[in-house]
């Protein structure tokens, strides 16, 4: 029932997308890997919607006879509820399928992540599930003498510049940005009101490939309104490199927002919308607004549905978040591990979008859904993600 509701919302989002002219044509500005490119980059090929099967990497058989039933899971930080939820779900599912699981969180420190992965490899983990802290920092550790025996699943964030990565499990990250952009268009009713409105833009961590996808998805929706003058960016900061947020950190977003308020909005000038790619950044923006800002409260976007942010949505301090259902994404990664271990073909549904600089990585993308004040109870409480107690 919930699944049907969720897919209705996803369908509704796609319809909204078409209604505002963001057809597959404009989605062609998406790219495979964002880092190191300018804001506009070439479209490769459209993703496919139908699941297809990937037969595994030639020369790296899915199941060597003596493959230990041991999996290493390396995630960025335990401090963010979404990563700890992802980790626990994968661990639980894999352990109940008989795997030994080495689950490590790297405290958002690239060198810790590298040494954790090295020790997983040394202790005979032959399948690794990794969400990189820095997309480009894992080349060395993954290209060990043993790398031909190791199968690597990149989780949520794509590992770049190495052919050691075999599969990718994620969300359509460009679509998340699109949904955030569309939310702003609809909340401000940009197509039916004269404006102009004031917008400020935040982007994610410069070392995370997802950040560029979010940014491009949102900017492809918002750019026409910026170009026509209906949306003004008083700070003038709209280039990706000018608006990134190191490690998606709340404090960093808060500091930047406080500086924007002090410089451009301290006289009560209204900020009508703040584009935030995820919830940790949205939280920083909310914190900053609670300081010296005296104007009308803006529309604020986010993603992840972290508890603190759902509370902000309930308090009308944040407008929306995009829910990336960890249970679906973690389940898919666990299924992939099982398929690899069993030597079965691995299910993917996108074989063309995610080029990591060294190869096009077969991917399985799961759905995401917009959550706001109108549906958070249905999606998050009805879906068993949180209880009312968690949110009080």
Chain residues in the site for ligand GAL (CB under 6 A): 76, 80, 82, 156-157, 208, 210, 248, 278, 280, 303-304, 324
Candidates 81, 103, 109, 73; CA nearest to 247 is 109
Residue written as token pair 């990563």: 83
Q: Are 221 and 251 in contact (CB under 8 A)?
A: no
CB of 333 to ligand GAL, least distance (A): 14
Complex with ligand GAL: residue 205 or 339, whichever CB lies closer: 205
Q: 53 is written with which tokens?
A: 């099967």
Three-class secondary structure of residue 261 per DSSP: helix
Complex with ligand GAL: residue 77 or 338, whichever CB lies closer: 77
Contacts by 26-30, CB closer than 8 A, 24 or more apart:
26/220, 27/174, 27/178, 27/220, 29/216, 29/220, 30/174, 30/213, 30/216, 30/217, 30/353
Complex with ligand GAL: residue 282 or 299, whichever CB lies closer: 282
Concatenated DSSP letters of 324-389: E-HHHHHHHHHHHHHHHHHTPPEEESBSSS-B-SSSBPPEEEE-EEEEETTTHIIIIITTTS--TT
Nearest-angstrom CA–CA distance, 164 and 141 = 10
CB of 36 to ligand GAL, least distance (A): 17
Nearest-angstrom CA–CA distance, 225 and 183 = 14
Concatenated DSSP letters of 95-150: HHTT-EEEEEE-TT-HHHHHHHHHHHHHTT--EEEE--SSTTS-HHHHSSTTGGG-
Strands 52-54 and 346-348: antiparallel
Candidates 66, 62, 320; CA nearest to 183 is 320
Complex with ligand GAL: residue 83 or 341, whichever CB lies closer: 83
What element of type H or E holds 70? strand 70-75
Residue written as token pair 């404009």: 26
Q: Are 312 and 282 in contact (CB under 8 A)?
A: yes
Nearest-angstrom CA–CA distance, 138 and 136 = 6
CB of 82 to ligand GAL, least distance (A): 5
């Amino acid at each position: 029932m919930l699944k049907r509701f969720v897919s209705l919302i996803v369908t509704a989002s796609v319809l909204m997308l078409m209604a505002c002219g963001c057809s597959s044509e404009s989605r062609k500005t998406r790219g495979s890997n964002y880092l190191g490119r300018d804001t506009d980059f070439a479209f490769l090929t459209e993703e496919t919607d139908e699941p297809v099967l990937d037969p595994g990497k030639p020369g790296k058989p899915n199941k060597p006879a003596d493959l230990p039933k041991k999996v290493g899971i390396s995630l960025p930080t335990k401090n963010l509820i979404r990563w700890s939820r992802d980790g626990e779900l994968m661990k639980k599912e894999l352990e109940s399928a008989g795997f030994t699981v080495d689950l490590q969180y790297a405290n958002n420190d690239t060198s810790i992540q590298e040494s954790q992965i090295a020790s997983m490899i040394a202790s005979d983990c032959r399948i690794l599930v990794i969400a990189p802290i820095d997309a480009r920092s894992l080349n060395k550790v993954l290209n060990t003498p043993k790398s031909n025996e190791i199968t690597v699943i990149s989780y949520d964030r794509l590992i770049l510049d190495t052919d050691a990565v075999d599969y990718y499990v994620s969300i359509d990250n460009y679509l998340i940005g699109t949904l955030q952009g569309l939310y702003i268009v609809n909340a401000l009713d940009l197509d039916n009101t004269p404006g102009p409105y004031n917008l400020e833009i935040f982007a994610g961590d410069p070392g995370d490939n997802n950040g560029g996808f979010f940014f491009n998805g949102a900017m492809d929706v918002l750019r026409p309104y910026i170009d026509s003058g209906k949306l003004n960016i008083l700070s003038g900061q709209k280039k990706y490199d000018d608006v990134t947020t190191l490690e998606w950190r709340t404090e960093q977003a808060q500091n930047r927002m406080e500086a924007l308020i002090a410089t451009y909005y301290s006289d009560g000038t209204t900020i009508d919308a703040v584009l935030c790619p995820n919830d940790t950044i949205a939280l920083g923006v909310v914190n900053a607004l609670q300081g010296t800002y005296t104007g009308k409260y803006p529309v604020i976007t986010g993603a992840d549905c972290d508890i603190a942010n759902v509370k902000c949505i309930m308090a009308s301090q944040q407008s929306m978040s995009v829910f990336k259902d960890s249970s679906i994404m973690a389940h898919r990664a666990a299924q992939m591990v099982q398929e690899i271990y069993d030597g079965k073909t691995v299910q993917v549904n996108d074989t063309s979008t995610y080029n990591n600089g060294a190869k096009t990585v077969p991917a399985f993308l799961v759905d995401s859904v917009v959550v706001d004040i109108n549906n958070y109870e249905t999606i998050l409480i009805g879906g068993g993600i949180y209880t009312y107690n968690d949110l009080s």
